[in-house]
A and B are shown apart, each in its own frame.
Chain A
Amino acid sequence: MSHTRYRVQEAGAPRPFPPEAMARIEKILKRYPTKQAALLPVLWVAQETWGWVSKESAEEVARLLGLPVSHVDGVLTFYTMYNLRPVGKHLLQFCTSISCHLAGAGRLVARCEKRLGIGLEETTADGKFTLLEVECIAGCDRAPSMMINDAYHEPMDEKKLDDLLDRLGRES
């Protein structure tokens, strides 16, 4: 059974949006005829504010938009890019769809697992790296393609990967 998205982790404290985030949300709400339509953008604001979307964030978003919190859960868990628990400083996303697979993406993932000592969807103990497989990210002509957080690193190979992990690992 592949990794499931059934549980949204608790942050352990209420999550009201800070003022800058609320200002963005106010602007967002003006662009849609219904509050519900602002749900995905507002969840992005939550993720950009805290790095992930917690159960308390989901409840706060539900309250702000007047939605049942179960609806927010349904959306949050449907879309794979919302992090349901904290992720490492560097979210390593390796595409393993067909063109990148043909270019050896599997080997890169295996290398990461070995070097970092973690499996897919896991985070290193020092909180630096989280490892994910993702589906096609439209980097097929620069396969194997991958992203770290919001930036593409393509084409990736084992040497570049080693250097990258070394460099990022050395940062404080």
Chain B
Amino acid sequence: MSANPEPPKAPAPPPPPAKDTFTVIFDGRPVEVPKNLNLIDAAKLAGVEIPHFCYHPRLSVVGQCRMCLVEIEGMPKIQAACTTPLKDGLSVKTTTEKVRSSRAATMEFLLINHPLDCPICDQAGECTLQDNSFGYGQQLSEYDEAKRQYPTFDRTPIGPNVIADMTRCIQCTRCIRFCQEIAGTSELTFLDRGGRTLVWTHDGGPLANEWSACAADVCPVGALTVRQFRFRSRVWYLQKTPSICPGCNIGCNNSIEARENVVYRFLPRLNPDVNDYWLCDHGRFLSESLNLRDVSKATWREAGAVRDLPVPAAVDRIAAEIRGAIETKGAASIFFLGSAHLSNEENFLLRKLADHLGCPNRDVVVDRGKPRKIKSQKGWITGEEAAPNFRGAREMGLTPGRGGYGLEAVLSGKSAPDVVIAADAEFGAAADDPAAVAALRKAKFLAVAARRSNALTRAADVVLPAASLAEKDGTFTNLQGRAQKFERAFLSKPPVRAHWELLLLLATALGWGDPDWTPAELRARIAEEVPGYGDRPESELDGGRLLKKGDFAWKGAL
């Protein structure tokens, strides 16, 4: 008798797919986190704050401050979170008595020699030492000895843009590591050792790399502060507005920190794909220039005399001149000059107006400046254009149309428009070059919008008062092709208006456009009409998140 056939074996179940995350348990709560994170950042994702000073996501881990101590299941002693490697099933406790007392101990040790400078220290209000002391320290001090000081290293410049008050230093080495690992210039070092340890430069300095103010950014206390900001404002009075640096075509994400319609400083916004946590000194200190203004009213020059007039009246005059030129000579007798300093919305409006009028003569230029560099998370980015939006302006269509000419032809005298409309009098170095201005002035009618006066505004027939970058919304397209929004920090003082408002007035006076458009609506039209701008995600437009100086207190985001 034959045996029963064996039932067919079920195929072995496929192995579970390998996870690309680890399960980390925070105070009993399991959370999936990416494998390559530092535990402090994993905690942030999980909404758990692990206070720290020396850890910085872009700098090497040193584990020196001893503030991030936590309990790890399976390890008897308290462990620094920043030096604890992630592994699947890691169980972290942050709320035990041991953790509480370790944090209090570290805070006590940090404060025994720390000067009570808060009333005179710029860092107050954005100071990690204050925050962690308040959150995790103890109120009373039992320290009854002399505090160690560095008297000759206080209140003294350590570089052209940074002032040192080393008595406040907590020896976290963020500044040293920044100079070594990001800037690559290694100006800073520890000197001496033990409780006498001092951060300083060789022979007094200077701390002078292109990003030296970032060393002050990363400093968790007021040991390194920015000279240009010193004593100017308490930080809690400042409002933060996301913006884009106007210094070059990298388009570093920054925030305008302003109060009562005055810009006090730029701080970086964290955008790992562009500027990461950094700003170069050149771009950062353009903040002050936003407060400068020479042109506050519309003016009209007639028979040698310059008169004020209301903006709508000035716009009407420009429209009349344009209509006149089209009637007598045709639309090709007009030249529209955009600007690499103006937004996509503004350059788009200008081009659309030129299209509407049938004028093929439109252009935008950019100066090539000293190369600027910034380190994104993935590597260095170099910007060689001295304005933020040449690419965007070109992509909005500001190139000569069929049969049209550009700025070079005008400057060389090859072409001679009757009417020149320069949307931005500060479009480039040519605006202050006598020969270039003379070439543009050959036109019968020259109208510009401006904030500062220069040779071009002094030569123009009509000057419209234009807003600064802080006083309007818009988008710049950077060298990566990334469209990034900047937002208005405060209203301009009437009659000053944004360039886009002025251009919209002119366009509607000439029969094109909707007077109620906002930059958002202009962006929607750009998305419809300009190739490649159709599906920009909000995240790209919004760019990086706001940073508190030194960036410690953000939970939930990296």
Contact = CB atoms under 8 A, between A and B. Distances in A.
B203 interface: yes
B196 A1 contact: yes
Given A2-B196, A4-B196, A6-B198, A78 B203 contact: no
Contacts of A153: none
The bracket for how many chain B residues form the interface is 20 to 34
A74 B190 contact: yes
A7 to B, nearest CB: 9
A40 B196 CA distance: 21
B202 interface: yes
A119 to B, nearest CB: 18
A39 B187 CA distance: 18
A70 B184 CA distance: 12
A34 to B, nearest CB: 16
A74 B191 contact: yes
Contacts of A6: 150, 153, 191-192, 198, 200
Which of the listed residues A2, A68, A70, A72 has the most CB atoms from chain B within 10 Å of its own CB? A70
A5 B198 CA distance: 9
Nearest to B180: A68
A71 B200 CA distance: 11
B518 interface: no
Interface in A56-79: 58-59, 68-74, 77-78
B190 A68 contact: no
B453 interface: no
A1 B148 contact: yes
Nearest to A74: B189
B191 A5 contact: yes
Interface in A110-159: none
Taking each of B185, B192, B202, which has the highest tally of chain A beta carbons within 10 Å of its own beta carbon?
B202
A78 B153 CA distance: 18
Interface string A1-19: 1101110100000000000
Given A1-B148, A78-B190, A70 B202 contact: yes
Given A1-B148, A68-B186, A73 B202 contact: yes
Nearest to B192: A5
Contacts of B200: 6
A69 B190 CA distance: 12
A70 B192 CA distance: 12
A78 B193 contact: yes
* Chain B facing A: main interface SS: mixed
* Most chain B CB atoms below 10 A, which of A4, A55, A74, A78: A74
Consensus secondary structure, chain A interface = helix
Contacts of A1: 146, 148-149, 196
Contacts of A59: 202
Interface string B148-187: 1110010000000000000000000000000010000111
B84 interface: no
Contacts of A69: 202
A68 B148 CA distance: 28
B188 interface: yes
B203 A55 contact: yes
Contact of A77 (B191, B201, B203): B191
Nearest to B204: A7
Interface residues of A, number: 18
Nearest to B147: A1
A59 B202 CA distance: 9
Interface in A1-55: 1-2, 4-6, 8, 55
Nearest to A68: B186
Nearest to B166: A6
A1 B198 CA distance: 13
A73 B196 contact: no
A26 to B, nearest CB: 26
Given A1-B196, A4-B196, A6-B200, A73 B148 contact: no
B187 A70 contact: yes
B193 A70 contact: no
B196 A70 contact: no
Contacts of A71: 186, 189
Given A1-B148, A55-B203, A73 B192 contact: no
Contacts of B148: 1
B198 A70 contact: no
Contacts of A72: 202
Contacts of B198: 4, 6
B202 A78 contact: no
Contact of B192 (A55, A58, A68, A77): A77
A1 B113 CA distance: 12
Contacts of A78: 190, 192-193
A6 B187 CA distance: 15
A3 to B, nearest CB: 9
A4 B149 CA distance: 11
A164 B92 CA distance: 63
A73 B200 CA distance: 10
A78 B196 CA distance: 10
A74 B180 CA distance: 13
Contacts of B187: 68, 70
14 contacts: A1-B146, A1-B196, A4-B198, A5-B192, A6-B150, A6-B153, A68-B185, A70-B189, A71-B189, A73-B189, A73-B202, A77-B192, A77-B193, A78-B192
5 smallest A-B Cβ distances: which pairs?
Answer: A68-B186, A74-B189, A70-B189, A77-B191, A5-B192
Interface of B: 146, 148-150, 153, 180, 185-193, 196, 198, 200-203
Given A1-B196, A8-B203, A73-B202, 18 more contacts: A1-B148, A1-B149, A4-B196, A5-B191, A5-B192, A5-B196, A6-B198, A68-B186, A68-B189, A69-B202, A70-B189, A71-B189, A73-B189, A73-B191, A74-B189, A74-B190, A77-B191, A78-B190
